[in-house]
Structure 1
Amino acid sequence: MLKIIGIDHVVFRTTKLDAMLHFYCDVLGCKIERDKRSDNGLVQLRAGTALIDLVMVDSDLGRLGGRPPKQDGRNVDHVCLQLEAIAQDRLTQYLDSHQINYSNFALRYGAVGLTESIYIEDPEQNVIELKPVLA
């Protein structure tokens, strides 16, 4: 039997690579692990123990996936990222400082059980759930 221990990677197709890199690296703190833009249009970001792959839709690799992402044709519903313990007001103040809109906190079930989380969107309107672990 397989035992899932975390998210390995998520792939987002993008037409806004610079904005996506700013969002994931500068706002959320990911680091570029592999940059294959010149080879196949892929940039891989380290997100804790997981990777977030960004694929430019106008690259060779990106064209294999079809048309660019649109609101009526999402290729991902949402991705949930576990965060280290942080007070809700500190998290919302941080998001406000980066002009990131967010939902209200709500109790939701996830990998660590029933905890509060919020939703935000990246520059391609992919929905990202932020779930701080309990202190």
Structure 2
Amino acid sequence: MHALETCLYVDDLDRAEAFYSEVLGLALYGKAAGRHLFYRLEGSMLLIFDPRSSALPGDVPSHAGKPGGHACLGIAREDTDAWQARLEGHGLKVTRYAWGDRGESLYFEDPAGNVLELAPASIWGFTLEE
């Protein structure tokens, strides 16, 4: 079993789209104006909802939440320095944390205050093939 979806909540979808598309370089998979953004990752989806509209009744149970969540996106261990430079180049405050010999995580916030982390799978003892 693995995580198929990760869901975060934002209060401004336009700012979120600019951040996730431009800063992180993710390709937008789908969106509904005023409701959500969907990004396809490697083997999973990142869902970003506006909680005001995603809490309304509809065909799918409501996705009500608020900014302040956390998601960790996997990167290659050897790309950590390049990602830190990229994030800082966009004006983000990055906190780097070493997990002993397992690798390092980069922590930063999106415009809504969600705490994001970029890290290699090795911090959890996984290999990319798992």
Task: Give the structure-2-normalised TM-score.
Answer: 0.73
* Residue equivalent to 2:85: 93
- Counterpart CA distance in 1 for 2:8 and 2:19 is 13
Shift of 1:30: 1.4
Give the AA of the match of 1:91: W
Give the AA of the match of 1:94: R
Percent identity reads 24
Shift of 1:116: 1.5
* Residue equivalent to 1:27: 23
Aligned partner of residue 58 in structure 1, secondary structure: helix
Work out the number of aligned pairs and report it: 117
Task: Give the structure-1-normalised TM-score.
Answer: 0.71
Structure (1 or 2) with the greater strand fraction: 1
Give the AA of the match of 1:54: I
| Residue of 4, 9, 14 corresponding to 1:8 | 4
* Residue equivalent to 2:125: none
Conserved 8 A contact 2:55-2:63: yes
Unaligned 5+ residue runs, structure 1? none
Conserved 8 A contact 2:9-2:65: no
| Residue of 95, 106, 111 corresponding to 2:98 | 106
Aligned partner of residue 44 in structure 1, secondary structure: strand
User: CA 1:14 to 1:116, structure 2 compared with 1: closer, same or farther past 3 Å?
Assistant: same
* Residue equivalent to 2:128: none
Unaligned 5+ residue runs, structure 2? 57-61, 123-130
Shift of 1:106: 1.4
* Residue equivalent to 2:127: none
User: CA 1:87 to 1:12, structure 2 compared with 1: closer, same or farther past 3 Å?
Assistant: closer
Q: How does 1:41-120 map to 2 (within 5 A)?
A: 41-59=35-53, 61-63=54-56, 64=62, 68-69=66-67, 74=68, 76=69, 78-107=70-99, 114-120=102-108
